[in-house]
Amino acid sequence: MIEIATSSTTTTLVIAGDLDLAERDQFPEIAARVVGLRRQLLVIDMCRVTFMDSTGAAFLISLADSGRKRGGATVLRGADERDLFVLEVCGALDLFRIDRDHRCESSTPAAGSAHRPVSHPPA
Amino acid sequence: MTESSGPVPPVSEGLLGAALLDAILPVFVTGSWDDGMPVLWVNPAFTESTGISTDDMNRRGIHPLLTLVEDDPDREPGQASLRAGKPTERMIRGQRANGAPTWWHVSMSPIPDGDGSVRMWLGAATDVSTYVQRHAAQLASLEFERRERADLDLVAQTSELLGDLEYPYALRDIADLLRALVPWAGFYLNDDGLMFADGVDVASPPSGRGRRHTRYVPESPVLAHQGDQLGDDAAGVRASVDQVQDLLDGVVDGPVLLELDGRFPAHSASGWLRRDLVRRIVEETGVIPRSVVVHGVAGRRRVLGLVASWHGAGTAVDGLVGPDPDEIPAEPQHVFTVIEVVARRAGTAIDNARLYAREHRLAEALQRAMLPEQAEVPGLDVWTYYAPNAEHAQVGGDWYDVLQITEGTVGLVVGDVVGHDVEAAAAMGQLRSVVRSYAFELATPGVVVDRVDQLVTGMRIPRSASMVYATLRHEPDGDVWAVQYTRAGHLPPLLLRDGTVTQLADAGGSLIGFGSKPRATARAELRRGDVLLFYTDGLIERRDRSLKVGLDALIETSARITARDAAGVGEELLSRLADAPEDDVALVVVRVPDPVVDAEVQPLSPRSRRWLLPSEPASIGRARHAVLRTCQAWGLPESASAELVVSELVANGVLHGWGNIALRLFDTGDGLRIEVEDSNPAPPVTTDGHPNRLGGFGMQIVERLADWGWRPAGSGKLVWAKLRPTGA
């Protein structure tokens, strides 16, 4: 599930659940809405993302890329090591400002996912 | 009576002279080379053959004989012999008195003088025209045969190339073969407009439709020089005649001659083809072509493309005029025939690919519509498996469904329609829809199947079928699932509890559609750690034993199962019972997890698991779920990486694969091995080769986390990945 919230300067995207091929159908519409809001800052909240693969990463990258083309910035918060690893393999880490200090409010994972495994991507 | 003949008297010189005079062989005597070889004497045969007497000859100036014959390349060496006074002979071409061209074999013999110098020559000319003509005819027929063999060989090679249209350069290679006959040849296909083609995309073959040809043709200096811009005004444009479009439309059979110095509307078939051809031929040969011959590549119902062949007429780019500046060489008959045959075969092959792709899409769509459904049920560990018998393609009559009917209620169907053909699959599709509908509407299994009986009788479904339908209702007190079931001519489900196996053999009835009395409903209970087993007869049926013996074997095997996850139970059953099934197999394993016991003991169950997943995005999540649970069951630490690798591999299978996706997991002892199999034989690619497009990073992620590879498997391929141990 993906929610969009907005203030005068910032669009915040709160993503919950899995970010993979099964969710791809909703990506274009959300991207269009985010672009339409024309805020300088895009915050992507990943606290409740249970899983992201290269398809999900491609979605985040397209958001960050269209923001950058308009001179905006994209902040990624709550992404775990494995999500960052996927973005790194996609060569896209420098598109994002990574908020490493963010502490997710609720550590309750989204409904439907049993647990969130600790990631061990190789160095 | 006869007198023996005496010694032959010597021939007198006078007699020799008379013989030369009367000879039928044209003979002549000339002066020496230095004197210009004046003809001193010819015999009547000579005059008769050439119509020229000695006097006529001498009115022809020096070397009068040369005026009788055509120039030939051997003249120089022959004359050298004459100068040196040596005898010589050669073949020359001249004309008879009646004007007929004639080949002469002429021999010149010096008549030695007293002092050894040559002042006179005796010449004799033999008419060898017949011989030469026969020889030429032989050569020509040899050449003809050689060419026919070469043409046949070319057509055979073409057929071979067309046999494998998957090869991406099939058409380019055929065009290369044709270039043995003509200086340049190339294929064009019409798929929403003409395009040059090196091969055929068998996944999406050309449609043969499209009357506006707008594909981008790169700029070329030659075209610019000719003032050919896309925005060309209509002046001088031959708008009315578009022969190439006529060929594509099937209005003319072709071939047509396309004059490349003509002007055509920019997006007409002739105009586009002209631009593309001029650019290509100039680039590849350095000659600006004047015209090409265009053959249609016809499929069964429409023309799918073109073969263009250039026969060499044109102007070199540097302005030099080619060998035949004004002549457009006609296509020789044999070239015409070969190109026509090749074009027709290519058309048939491409058409077949097109039809096959359409059938394939249709079958895939229908198959997807008939895929079993497996709801993820909270609180239950469900594993399902369906393997159509390899001999019976992807469709069969067995099916299962796991339906979440309400919160806490699950409907479970396993059924088997008689037969393995498309009709059986269609009957299965109808039947399952009927069962699904009533399952969501009515609660009690006996009532559901009663209604199914009624409807099936009315629908006249052409095949009989057996089925078990069960509902599982969660009762929160004591974490127990209440089972209700009914059987319509189907083998009993099994209940596994602590090493004992119970057959749920009550509530039996006749096959679907044959119920004469109301269906019964029986009850059972599923506790923590219990396993419920639904199966079709393919799991136990063997030609060499009765069904009863097979059932006993299943019960015995089930009693020995040690796995503590549904997939493990299924794996143990399949590996012991159905590694070479003779029939379709459908299997549903439902297990109620037991949080206490499951964590305790590491079972001795084999460390391999398999799943068969429909090709749909939801399968990716199920596959991740499966790998997580398996890593837990096996105590493997690299579950996070495994989840990522499985997700990418299965996503690839869903996006690019064909048919169902088989996922297999193995604990190799030094890491998890993941195998993903689908029916598309095309290998996976690490990136999709579009630097500006996102995506294509999936295999790079796999590469970072695992060693991977692929191999052909069955009709498709198997991609494997072995996770590198954490921290390595």
Domain positions in chain A are 2-99
Task: Check CB contact of B694 with chain A, cutoff 8 Å.
Answer: yes
Q: Both B46 and B97 in a single domain?
A: yes
Name the residue type at position B656.
H
pLDDT of B234 reads 47
Omega of the bond leading into A117 within 30 degrees of 0 (cis): no
Our count of domains for chain B comes to 4
Identify the pLDDT of residue B602: 65
Comparing alpha-carbon positions, the chain B residue that sits nearest to A111 is B378
Best of B407, B697, B723, B726 to disrupt the A interface (most A CBs within 10 Å) is B697
**Which residues of chain A lie closer than 8 angstroms to B702, CB-CB?**
none
Count of alpha carbons within 13 angstroms of residue B482, beta-carbon side: 14
Distance (Å) of CA A82 to CA A2, B395, B579, B725: 20, 39, 38, 16
Q: Does B695 touch chain A (CB under 8 A)?
A: yes
Judging contacts by C-beta atoms under 8 Å, the chain A residues touching residue B624 are 18, 51
Positive or negative CA dihedral for A19, A21, A23, A28? positive
CATH number of A2-99: 3.30.750.24
Q: Which residues of chain B neighbour A58 with C-beta distances below 8 Å?
A: 694-695, 697
- Residue A62: list chain B partners with CB under 8 A: 694
Q: Which residues pair with B298 in a beta bridge?
A: B303
Shared domain check, B117 and B37: yes
Q: Measure B595 CA to nearest chain A CA, in Å.
A: 14
Asked whether residue B187 falls in the same domain as residue B294, the answer is yes
The alpha carbon of residue A21 is apart from the nearest alpha carbon of chain B, in Å, by 6
Q: In this structure, are B292 and B197 located in the same domain? A: yes
In A1-123, which ranges are continuous DSSP H helix?
A: 27-37, 54-69, 81-89
Nearest CA in chain A to B706: A122
Q: Which residues in chain B have Cβ-Cβ distances shorter than 8 Å to A90? A: 694, 697, 700
Nearest CA in chain B to A113: B625
In terms of domains, do B246 and B272 share one? yes
B5 in any annotated domain: no
Inter-chain CB pairs, A–B, below 8 Å: 83
- B647 interfaces chain A, CB cutoff of 8 Å: yes
Contact A121 B694 (CB under 8 A): no
Q: Are B164 and B170 in contact (CB under 8 A)?
A: yes
Q: Is A22 on the interface with B (CB under 8 A)?
A: yes
Helix (H, G, I), strand (E, B) or coil at B372: coil
Find, among B120, B117, B625, the residue nearest to B380 by Cα.
Answer: B625
Per the domain annotation, does B575 fall within a domain?
no
Cβ B575 vs Cβ B631: under 8 Å: no
State residue A41's pLDDT score.
93
Parent domain of B263: 146-358
Q: In what order do the strands lie in the sheet with B184-190?
A: B194-197, B184-190, B303-310, B291-298, B256-259
CB of A61 within 8 Å of a chain B CB? The answer is yes
Q: CA-to-CA distance for B367 and B347, rounded, in angstroms?
A: 30
The verdict on A120 touching B (C-beta cutoff 8 Å) is: yes
Chain A contact probe: residue of B377, B620, B652, B676 with most A CBs at under 10 A: B620
A97 shares contact with chain B (CB less than 8 Å): no
* Of B100, B127, B154, the domain-final residue: B127
> Which residues of chain A make contact with B595, given a CB cutoff of 8 A?
none
Which parts of chain B have pLDDT scores under 70?
1-7, 224-240, 317-331, 364, 367-369, 371, 388-396, 515, 578-582, 600-604, 685-696, 726-728
The reply to whether residue A51 touches residue B624, judged by beta carbons under 8 angstroms, is yes
B529 shares its domain with B660: no
Nearest CA to B466 out of B404, B416, B531, B537 is that of B416
Please, are residues B89 and B105 in contact by the beta-carbon 8 Å criterion? yes
In degrees, rounded to 5, the angle at the alpha carbon of residue B544 between the alpha carbons of residues B540 and B548 is: 45
Whether B644 and A82 lie within 8 Å, measured CB to CB = yes
Same domain (yes/no): B540, B611: no
Tell me: do B58 and B187 sit in the same domain.
Answer: no
Here the CATH number for the domain that contains residue B274 is: 3.30.450.40
Chain A residues touching B644 at Cβ < 8 A: 53, 82, 86, 121
Asked if B612 and B589 sit in the same domain, the reply is: no
Predicted confidence at residue B531, as pLDDT, reads 95
Structure-token pair, residue B424? 């059986």
- For B417-465, how does the pLDDT look when each residue is reduced to its tens digit (9 = 90+)? 887 777 888 888 889 889 999 999 998 999 999 999 988 888 877 788 9
CA distance B484 to chain A (A): 27
Residues B472 and B497 in one domain: yes
B700 touches chain A (CB under 8 A): yes
Same domain (yes/no): B92, B157: no
Phi (first) and psi of residue B383, to 5 degrees: -130, 135
The per-residue pLDDT for A19 is 92
Closest CA to B564 of B596, B607, B590, B593: B593
Q: Closest to B647 (Cβ–Cβ): which among A51, A58, A62?
A: A51
- The verdict on residue B601 lying in a domain is no
CATH code of the domain containing B674? 3.30.565.10
Q: Kindly indicate the confidence band of residue A109, based on its pLDDT and cuts at 50, 70 and 90.
A: very low
Q: Are B675 and B714 in contact (CB under 8 A)?
A: no
pLDDT in tens, B598-619: 776 666 677 888 888 888 888 8
pTM above 0.80, yes or no: no
Which of B319, B336, B358 is the endpoint of a domain? B358
Are residues B517 and B388 part of one domain? yes
Q: Are A113 and B630 in contact (CB under 8 A)?
A: no
CA distance linking residue B678 with residue B674, whole number of Å: 14
Buried b (16+ CB within 10 A) or exposed e, A15-45: bbbbbbbbbbeebeebeeebbeeebeebbbb
The answer to whether the Cβ–Cβ distance between A54 and B648 falls below 8 Å is yes
Give the strand pairing for A41-52 and A10-19. Answer: parallel
Rg (CA), chain A: 14
Residue A110 has what pLDDT?
A: 43
